[in-house]
Amino acid sequence: MSIRAIAINCTLKTSAKSVKTGEASSTDRMISVLADAFRHHGVELTQTLRIADYNVLPGVTSDEGEGDDWPRLRETILAHDILVFGGPIWMGQIGSIAKRVLERMDAFLSETDDKGRMPSWSKVAVAAIVGNEDGAHMSSAQLFQSLNDTGWTIPSVAACYWVGEAMGSTDFKDLERTPDKVTQTAAMLAGNAAHLARLLKDQPYPGAG
């Protein structure tokens, strides 16, 4: 069975800004580590949606009206089996663009099928988190709670992250090499997510009554 993953990059910077400043995205690098790991498990990570490049309006419905890019992002995301939710830590917490995406998924709660299942049912979500320093656990706590509330399944060992020493300023994108612990975690995460996505695609949750 073919399993496809998609990543979202919730950096605060647009691609245009990255090009202008010549700065790569640390979240992109972490997603790339995971894409490699997924490939070893036969899962293609088809694309990364850089949310800052789109106009995702604030709100908690699936379509906030004119100019809202979320409807097509939502459709693209839901056409995949695995969501790699990537984003940076700011202020020790997951960034505001990630939070906005989570809020838009709040709509899933009222978009259930006749068996009470949300659009995310039988899909798997994992976290890819980066920061100069501390905040990865708070971020994954925020992500797992929100993603689970909105119907996603969280495989064993679903967070791959990197942060530097307390109050540090090194970026993941600037590390000479990817730390072994990150590569090992990525391998375990990808294997678990791929396995679970296959099981659930083959035998989805039955839903209510």
* Cβ(101)–Cβ(8) below 8 Å: yes
Tell me the three state secondary structure of residue 135: coil
| Nearest CA among 34, 38, 45 for reference residue 183 | 34
Least gap, CB of 104 to its own copies (angstroms):
9
Query: Residues 97-116, buried b or exposed e (16+ Cβ, 10 A)?
Result: bbbbbbbbbebbeeeeeeee
**What is the closest distance, in whole angstroms, from the C-beta atom of residue 37 to its own copies in the complex?**
11
For its own copies, give the closer residue by CB, 6 or 131: 131
User: Rounded to the nearest whole angstrom, what is the least distance from the CB of residue 13 to its own copies in the complex?
Assistant: 8
Which residue do the tokens 């090992």 mark? Answer: 184
Q: Pick the closer one to its own copies by CB: 173 or 195.
A: 195
- Are 74 and 116 in contact, with CB atoms under 8 Å apart? no
CB of 166 to its own copies, least distance (A): 5
Nearer to its own copies, 6 or 160 (CB): 160
Closest separation between CB of residue 96 and its own copies, Å? 4
Q: Is the dihedral of CA 50, 52, 53, 54 positive or negative?
A: positive
Q: Residue 6 or residue 143: which is nearer to its own copies going by CB? A: 143
